[in-house]
Structure formats: C-alpha cells, structure tokens
C-alpha cells in the first residue's frame, strides 16, 4: 500500500541527496519520493522528503528558510568553496585574525544581498550544469541570486570560538539562518575574501528546514529498519501537519466535493492573498488553496485527494 507524508532524515556524510531518495524508494517499494532541497555530499543533517501525495506540496516546502551549523577553515580558498576542492590560494598565516575581526565581518553579511553561485553547482548556463563546465576547466560569468541571511553568529565549539593549527590556518563555527537557495560554502568563501586570508567550508550540518529540526530527524538506517518491519508509516509526518505556517480551514462535505473538482469555495475571512490548508471533517488535508479577497473566494491550487 502506498504511503503518504513527509519524512525527515538525518543525511549522513558521503551520500548525495539523490542517494537518500533512492534508498527510501527501495525501502518503501514506491517511486513517488523526492526531496525539498539539496544537501552537498559532505554535509549532514535535515533532509525533508516528500512521500506519495506529499510530492504535490514540494513547491511550498522548497521555499522554507534553512538553518545550519558551519565550520569554516581560514587560510586558503578552494575551487569548490569547500574541503572537497583543490586549493586556489597559498596558505596564509591567520594568527593575527581575532574573534572581533570575524564578528565584524559576519555582521557585514547579515541581511539581503546578492550571491554569485559557485562554478561547482547544479545551476545551468546555456543548458549545461556549471559543475560540468568547471570539470572541463571552464569558468563562466554567473548571474547573482538574491538571498537573505537572517542570522549569522560566531558560536563556541569545545569551549573555544577560534581553533588554531600549526600550519597557520584556523577554524571557527558559525550558526546560519538563511533563505532557501543560499550557498553556505560560498558564504564561507566570501567571508575569507573579506578577512583577506581566504577560507572554505570545512563541515556543514543542516539543523533545520522551516520548523523541521534535527531533533525530529531519523537516521537512514533507522528508517530502513522500520520499513523492513512494516512500520514505515510511524516515521511519516501526516500531510495535515506539513504546512503549519499556513492558516487552516475545515470544509463542509459540499465544499470538499467542490474543491476536489477544482472549484472555488467561499472564503470571505481573508483580507490578503494567502495560501490556506483546506481540511475535511476528519482534519485530513484535501488541498492547498489561495484566498482571493477581491472575489471573496478560495481557489484550489494543489488538490491532494482522492
């Protein structure tokens, strides 16, 4: 029997997001599984998967803010902006860089800004993915993207804020809360440029996607074990809880039938355009609608049932 809901996995290092999707598909013996935002192979942490009918909600989930705990290595930059790439600058001594210097630079990156995607990314130029061009030794002009860094904070790890190494490099950990589409490894690279010493991302944990936090995540192995026991449904977040930031409206039986046929229903309680969860009498998510105050209706945009 096909399952439906959201699955929050703690992605292990070394796997791509697609690798995780494939393993969950095999565990559930179903094809309709997709993720809501890529994590690089070196990264770990929250990966939200849409299972079954939840795939129809993917576009709403893709736009959620993300939160990360990122380790940044100071001293040299790399071609990929992370520890997987070759150094592109010589190692520079970082002994003169202080906590105050880092705090000052982090403050400069808070707020809305334009970020240039790295060459080693899945963005396309002329129909070709940038990482394919980069592997051929090509570098092309990339259009900047608008991102928002909501919070950026230097945090302690093992009781210290800066860890220094014998080769003159140093490392610090930062907590990042940002808009969807932000490249944290490019943020690390840009911080290194601003400090004048070069930097790259040395480790990354995604701690939250919207309200879905690491504390709610299952390891991939734990989920696969549940699936083998026929208990996979225990790990799935119901569709009715998938979009808690949206207002909810419980429908009459007549309005449920209207929505299932794509027809608008009365909705005069909304003064602005907004998405609304449309629930049946049992609290099940029937559809996501959009209020149209000028018409006094809610128009179904994504229908989940039957």
Quick: pLDDT tens for 140-176.
788 899 999 999 999 999 999 999 999 999 999 999 9
3-state secondary structure of 287: strand
* Model confidence, pTM: 0.90
Annotated catalytic residue, options 10, 40, 82, 280: 40
Quick: pLDDT tens for 60-117.
999 999 999 999 999 999 999 999 999 999 999 999 999 999 999 999 999 999 998 8
Sequence-separated (6 or more) residues with CB below 8 Å from residue 286: 251, 256, 259, 260, 278, 279, 280, 303, 304, 305
Beta bridge partners of 9: 47, 218
Region 117-146 average pLDDT: 80
CB 263 within 8 A of CB 251: no
Q: Point out the least confidently predicted range of 112-121, 190-199, 245-254.
A: 112-121
- Residue 234 banded pLDDT, cuts 50, 70, 90: very high
Query: What is the pLDDT, as a whole number, of residue 94?
Result: 97
Query: What is the pLDDT, as a whole number, of residue 306?
Result: 64
Query: What is the pLDDT, as a whole number, of residue 2?
Result: 76
Residues in the chain: 306
Among this protein's residues, is 40 annotated catalytic?
yes
- Pair type for strands 212-213 and 199-209: antiparallel
Sequence-separated (6 or more) residues with CB below 8 Å from residue 83: 42, 73, 200, 201, 202, 203
Region 279-299 average pLDDT: 94
Tell the residue number behind the tokens 């589409």, with chain if given: 181
CB 57 within 8 A of CB 239: yes
Share of the chain above pLDDT 90, in %: 83
Domains in the chain, please, with CATH?
Answer: 5-64+211-240 (3.30.2350.10), 66-201 (3.30.2350.10), 248-303 (2.30.130.10)
Query: What is the pLDDT, as a whole number, of residue 1?
Result: 67
Beta bridge partners of 298: 265, 291
């Amino acid at each position: 029997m096909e399952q439906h809901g959201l699955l929050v996995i703690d992605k292990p290092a070394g796997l791509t997001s697609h690798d995780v999707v494939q393993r969950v598909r095999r565990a559930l013996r179903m094809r309709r599984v997709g993720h809501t935002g890529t994590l690089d192979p070196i990264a770990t942490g929250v990966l939200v998967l849409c299972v079954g009918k939840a795939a129809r909600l993917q576009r709403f989930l893709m736009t959620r803010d993300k939160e990360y705990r990122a380790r940044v290595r100071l001293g040299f930059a790399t071609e990929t902006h992370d520890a997987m790439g070759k150094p592109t600058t010589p190692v520079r001594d970082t002994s003169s860089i202080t906590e105050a210097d880092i705090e000052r630079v982090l403050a400069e990156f808070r707020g809305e800004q334009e970020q240039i995607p790295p060459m080693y990314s899945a963005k396309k130029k002329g129909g070709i993915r940038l990482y394919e061009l980069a592997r051929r030794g090509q570098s092309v002009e990339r259009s900047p993207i608008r991102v928002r860094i909501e919070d950026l904070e230097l945090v302690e790890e093992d009781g210290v804020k800066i860890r220094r190494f014998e080769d003159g490099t140093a490392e610090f950990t930062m907590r990042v809360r940002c808009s969807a589409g932000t490249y944290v490894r490019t943020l690390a690279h840009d911080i290194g440029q601003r400090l004048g010493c070069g930097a790259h991302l040395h480790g990354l944990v995604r701690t939250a996607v919207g309200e879905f936090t690491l504390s709610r995540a299952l390891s991939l192995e734990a989920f696969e074990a549940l699936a083998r026991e026929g208990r996979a449904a225990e790990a799935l977040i119901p569709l009715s809880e998938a979009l808690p930031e949206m207002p909810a409206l419980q429908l009459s039986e007549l309005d449920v039938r209207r929505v299932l046929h794509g027809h608008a229903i009365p909705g005069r309680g909304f003064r602005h355009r907004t998405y609304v969860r449309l629930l049946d009498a049992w609290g099940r998510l029937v559809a996501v609608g959009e209020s149209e105050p000028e018409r006094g209706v809610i128009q179904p945009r994504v229908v989940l049932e039957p």
